[in-house]
Structure 1
Amino acid sequence: MEFRKNIETLLNDFLETRKDLFLIDLKFSASDDITVILDGDNGVSVQDCLDASRAIEFNMDREEHDFSLQVMSAGLSEPLSIPRQYQKNIGREIEVLLNDSSEIEGELAKVDEEKITLILRYRKPKDIGKGKVDVVEEKEISYTEIKKALVVIKF
């Protein structure tokens, strides 16, 4: 248990020096394979991953405790999980799978500690007459309602 605490402390100390980076996940396997997933306000470079890895590895004694370490960035295919990740994606299209299994796609407009706000754009039939009308509406979604949220990748 002390080994894990040491890793967490070293990682947190590194992140204190790099306020633009933040932790998404820290995993320990039974065989002490450590996986660190980072994200950043301006993305994560290979150098950022190397710096984080060195901050941990150079301060641990492999003779005392053998481990493997993998530091990576959260990829575009990874779901958004914390408000800071949502914040950095304001203005992008995201697809949200809700707990009731419904899906909503829209532009991420606002983020706070309790919810996100999407701008939904769609066409609906006119109330009177034939044809359709463009609709733009805002929808607030609480984090507790979100099962999974992904950035929509457009080419």
Structure 2
Amino acid sequence: MDQNKVKKLVDDALAENEALFLIDLNFGGDGSIKVIVDGDAGVPLSECIRISRAVEHNLDRESEDFSLEVTTPNITDPIIDKRQYNKNIDRTLKVKTEEERFEGKLIDVSDEGITLFWKSREPKPIGKGKITVEKQQTIPLSEIKEAKVKIIF
């Protein structure tokens, strides 16, 4: 299987809709091809079908047997691409860095990092009891080891 040809076909199909972007392209030893795409506002099923057809119709099944799967990221998959952060603004994220773990509402995304907001209960500075404190943390993208959207029912 010519992986460069498949990559070009996927890139050409994605170029037809600028809201879509490639997350992963895997080639299995058994001739399987898995394409994971995401979009700034999600990915409709019709776009997965269009991309699949654009790739499949330009490959020769007579010369090579292959299976093709075009899918979107699973809700439990970590965020990989910076554009995925933009589509998750106002959602709660769990973020791991080398030293710390954060959980908060994603309120801002920049070229340098993301900003999370959350509330926590902390002891009063004077006296007994606790108070609610609002916290905000900007985390550089380079320090993020894993970020996932927290599923809330």
Q: TM-score, normalised by structure 2?
A: 0.94
1:76-91 to 2 correspondences below 5 Å: 76-91=75-90
Unpaired runs of 5+ residues, structure 1, are: none
Shift of 1:105: 0.2
Q: Deviations over 1:23-62 (max 9, x none)?
A: 1110111222111011111111222211110010011111
Q: Deviations over 1:116-135 (max 9, x none)?
A: 11112111111011121111
Unpaired runs of 5+ residues, structure 2, are: none
Q: Distance in 1 between matches of 2:88 and 2:74?
A: 13
Please name the residue that 2:134 is paired with.
136
1:40 partner letter: G
Q: Distance in 2 between matches of 1:138 and 1:97?
A: 15
SS in 2 for 1:86: helix
Count of residues in Structure 1 that have an aligned counterpart in Structure 2:
153
Is 1:9 the counterpart of 2:8? The answer is yes
Could you list the structure 1 runs, at least 4 aligned residues long, displaced by more than 6 angstroms after superposition.
Answer: none
Q: Distance in 1 between matches of 2:123 and 2:64?
A: 66
2:140 partner letter: S
**8 Å Cα contact 1:83/1:112 also seen in 2:** no
Please name the residue that 1:29 is paired with.
28
Sequence identity percentage: 44
Please name the residue that 2:93 is paired with.
94
Q: TM-score, normalised by structure 1?
A: 0.93
Aligned match of 1:115 in 100, 113, 116? 113
Is 1:51 the counterpart of 2:50? The answer is yes
SS in 2 for 1:55: helix
Q: CA RMSD in A?
A: 1.3
Please name the residue that 2:38 is paired with.
39
Q: Distance in 2 between matches of 1:19 and 1:135?
A: 41
